Amino acid sequence: MKELQQGFATKAVHAGENPDFREGATGDVVVPIHLSTTFAREKVNIPTAGYEYVRSLNPTRKALETKLAALENARYGLAFSSGLAAETTLLTALLKSGDHIVAFDDLYGGTKRLFNHIFNNYHIGVTFVDATDISLVENAILPQTRLIWIESPSNPLLKICDIAGISKIAAARKLALAVDNTFLSPYFQKPLDLGADIVVHSSTKYIGGHSDVLGGALLLNSPDLYEKLQYRQNAVGAVLSPFDSYLTLRGVKTLALRMEQHQQNAFLIANYLRQHPKVKKVIYPGLENHPQHALAKAQSTGFGGVLSFEIAGSRSDAEAFLEKLHIIALAESLGGVESLIELPAAMTHSSVPKEIREQVGITDTLIRISAGIENINDLIADLEQAFD
């Protein structure tokens, strides 16, 4: 029978979770949580259905990996215990002592910490550049460079990279290009289709979507790299548990619905903020005054649910504003159904030295909002009373 082409929302619900109608099976619509840590076999040399031990392969985790790969238009997917576990496994698979990374200067603080304070101990160098200018990316490449690492949109300044343009540079130099797609999710952007080699996700964010499960993922098309990554994941044990795999499977089924509402609320909040007299600047790729608005529109199908703004005044003014909010939670992270707000200089990017933060553009009054799916009138009212 000819395989039907499926839309994103259909794949989000069904990929990796086809009911099993074989004799003895129950036809579960939802893939079961397989908690067994080991799998019995009838023959010494033949693992049952390929399963040996939970760290190596697990049916619930495999279902999630299949679903995420389908959503990113990837051949292979791997689910990890956190986004940083995914990043660490990828870096160990691609790099050795003496190698070099070219990275965006505006990255998640945990990624910068990993580069600057963990992998630098193994003599792996990194050069940070403003990757919105692809000539700076190309000029930073050294003979020992093996990897280009970008986020688009970036965290927390929401800068946009030309993924297709950078992928051509990487391909010409035989370098790997990794793109952190956490902010837009596969619903709004598919970096592999634009030429990237690896897509990275903190599935804790939009993919899980409910602020109740930690996880990460790598999606890719290369069979050789997949085999290498799978080996290292098993060797270091950075796997997502069966129960967390189930929670993530459950969350991702509503990704299409949630992303539309996140984006709608983000647009309305951004437009409210840019007219407020106590706001100096609003940063959201969906606004036409964003420097890379046209690029964002060209390479993505949406702009996401995260925006940043600078409040007028001092850091103490920013802190006072944040502490007066009632509905919007003052908390790190993003991508959950509830709206979250934070001060990057004091929270997500506090591990980045102040002079580096300011050089990149992360001021003490820059505030990041992850717009949730609540009633927009309630969110605007909460912001208004905090300003007052």
Positions marked catalytic: 55, 108, 180, 205
Number of H helices, E strands in the chain: 14, 12
CA distance 270 to 308: 8
Q: In the beta sheet, which residues pair with residue 129?
A: 104
Does residue 131 contact residue 151 with C-beta atoms inside 8 Å?
no
Q: Amino acid letter at 364? A: D
Per the listing, tokens 């799998």 go with 39
10 Å CB burial of residue 247 (0-12, 13-18, 19+) is buried
CA distance 369 to 350: 17
* Strands across the sheet containing 340-342: 279-283, 306-311, 366-370, 340-342, 329-330
Whole-Å CA distances, 33 to 16, 61, 77, 248, 337: 13, 9, 19, 12, 24
Does residue 328 contact residue 379 with C-beta atoms inside 8 Å?
yes
DSSP states of 212-279 = ----EEEEE--HHHHHHHHHHHHHHT-B--HHHHHHHHHHHTTHHHHHHHHHHHHHHHHHHHHT-TTE
Please give the helix or strand (H or E) that residue 381 lies within, else none.
Answer: helix 376-387
Does residue 207 contact residue 185 with C-beta atoms inside 8 Å?
yes
DSSP states of 182-212 = TTTHHHH--GGGGT-SEEEE-TTTTTT-SS-
